[in-house]
Structures are given as structure tokens and as C-alpha cells.
Amino acid sequence: MRRPRPLFRALLSCVTVTGLSAGLVALGGGGALAAQDTAAHQARPLPAHVSAPYFETWTGESPDRLAAASGNKYLTMAFLQTDKPGSCTAYWNGDTTLPIAKSSFGADIAAIQARGGDVIPSFGGYGADTTGTELADSCTDVDAIAKVYESLVTTYGISRIDLDIEADSSGNTAAIDRRNKAVAQVQRWAEHTGRHVQFSYTLPTTTTGLVASGVAILQNAVDNHARVDVVNIMTFDYWDGATHDMAADTKTAADGLYAQLAALHPKKSPAQLWRMIGVTEMPGIDDFGPEETFTTADAVKVERWAEARGINTLSFWALQRDNGNCVGTAGANNCSGIAQDTWYFSHTFARFTARTWTSR
């Protein structure tokens, strides 16, 4: 996702064996390790249909406080990345003072989980993907990449990891292969240890589906026997110069993705394919400008469509933008640029999680 670079080097973070060791030390030895292991085994799968807006972790704000204030039970926490290319250690925002450890967001995540929610840690994003600090771009050791992913599960007791791959990372074929091999390795580890771990890919899209590089990432996952549970498309920042009906274009982009997934997974039913799909909007005026404005009316249309289609995930970039404090401003990190009630998009999308779903 495109966004201004924060104060901490880049917008993302990653973790590695060093980060895992730091987390264990911070928790205090064997007893803490046992507590981590118990938490991991008790991790609850996410709902089959979930709203999980992105939270910008570099702002210094509390994800628990904003989740409670906005009425969100679930958040996608962005981002994890390495602090420099070549490293296999991931940090929140690439900030070395924020390793994957209970000391970094642990209390917030535990509080969200205690209220029946959860978080989805996300690796990558535009900042990391253009600076060589996305974990698999940076680290050439598949085992080390897998250990970083596993450390998130054992440290925070989460059940889904998101991989935001765009820009330069989308063409790095060696890193794509390493990443998917690591995903498959973690899935084998989860099966052997009785854990539930999902992986989602967040990818750029056109109004008619993924570009070739996005399909290639998913094809490589198939080739490596890496299960992709959700493909989350960024239905904004099309950068084609056209004026967009953002709700309508969300639907056509998802239709295109559905066809692409059907080709990759011919044995899946239509309902199973739709349950692999997620969409992420950018409320208000996105980075491109007023031609791409996702309105409050669009939010209602997309939530109703998502319910009717039975997709997996609704999200938006980002929770800190969900207010009307900067009308007319495009692409701001802390406001939507349109007139709106505070938390309007959160409240509208939260209905998606709250629905009573029947089996499809």
C-alpha cells in the first residue's frame, strides 16, 4: 500500500530467529515459554467472515484503545519488516526497539483477544517492498523466514499472518519462492503441533483482477504446496488516470480475482473460492486523488455485496484515517479527506463480522 514513510526508517517490519530469542528472554525463560506455547494452542481461528481494518503501528497509538473506541474486534497490524536489507530479523516498522516480543504490543493484543477479537500481523507493504526490507526479500534462509512467522504465533497467540507484496517485491522471483516455501514449512509445523495458522496475501489489483505478477505469486504458492487461505486485493490506487466508481470497481476486481482463483484451484466450489477473497478499501480520497474517492455510500454498498458474496475479509487502510478531519486532502495517514462521522467506515464494515452466517 502506498503511504508516506513514517519516522521509523520504513513502514514495515519483520522478525527472525533473533527476534524470537528476544521475545523469549523478555518473557522470562521456561515458564514464560510454556505460557507462550499454551497461548498458541488456545489461539482461536478468525471468523469465516471478518472485518479487520489496518492499524498503523508506527504512530505510537494503542491498537487496543483505538479498536475499543472504533468498535473493531479485529485489526490488521502493519507492518513487520527488517531494519536493513540482508537481515533475517523482523521488527515492527523496522524499528529495532520493537522486536517480536510481548514487550511490543503484547498487552494490547492480549486485551483485544480477551474481548473476543484478534489481530493479523502483516509483513511488507510499499515501504518495505521498495527498500529490500520485506522479510523474504531481505533474508535468503527459508528456515529463518519460517521461524519468524512461527514466532508470531508463539509470542502473540495469533492465527493469521498477512503478506503484503507489491512494487519491487512482486517481481522478486527468488524471494517469492522463498516466502512460499517458508509458508508451507510453517503450515507443516502447525499441523504437527496442533496449531491453527492461516496465511493471506495482500496484492495490488486492477479493476478486472490481479496483474500477471500477482497470479505468478499465487501459482508459485500452488507449486510449493503452500496453502493461501485468503487473497486480499487492494481495491484502490489504480493509477490509471480514470475517474472511478469505487464500489463498482471493487466488485469487478473481485470477479476477476474469482476467475483467476478458479483457474488455480479447479477443484474448489464457487462458495470456497469466494471464501478465499478479501478486499481492502481506502476510505475517502486515496493517494491518486479525487478521481478515486471511496465514499460513505460506497462503504454500505461494498459491505452488502461482501455479505451476499460470502467473501472472507473486509478491510480498509487505515483505522487512523477513519475520521473527517481533513476534508479535501488526498492520501493522508490520519484522516479520510471527506466529510464523515468519526469511525463511520469501522461501524459500517463491522456489520460484516456481526452478521449471523449460515453455511454455504
pLDDT digits (tens, 9 = 90+) for 203-255: 999 999 999 999 999 999 999 999 999 999 999 999 999 999 999 999 999 99
pLDDT at 354: 80
pLDDT at 15: 34
Cell numbers standing for residue 233: 486485493
Question: In one letter, which amino acid is 123?
Answer: F
Q: 201 in a domain, yes or no?
A: yes
Answer yes or no: pTM beyond 0.75: yes
Q: 144 in a domain, yes or no?
A: yes
Percent of the chain with pLDDT over 70: 87
Mean pLDDT of 159-175: 98
Q: Which CATH number do you get for residue 132?
A: 3.20.20.80
pLDDT digits (tens, 9 = 90+) for 272-320: 999 999 999 999 999 999 999 999 999 999 999 999 999 999 999 999 9
Q: 52 in a domain, yes or no?
A: yes
Locate all alpha helices (DSSP H) within the chain, ordered by sequence: 17-27, 29-42, 63-70, 106-114, 126-129, 135-138, 142-156, 173-193, 212-223, 246-264, 270-274, 296-309, 344-354
Query: DSSP letter string over 100-129?
Result: SSTTTTHHHHHHHHHTT-EEEEEEE-HHHH
Cell numbers standing for residue 13: 517490519
Count up the domains in the chain and report the number: 1
Cell numbers standing for residue 337: 479527506
- Over 243-269, what HEC string results? CCCHHHHHHHHHHHHHHHHHHHCCCCC
Q: 265 is in which domain, residue-wise? A: 17-354
Q: 11 in a domain, yes or no?
A: no
246, 294 Cβ separation under 8 angstroms: yes
Q: 9 in a domain, yes or no?
A: no
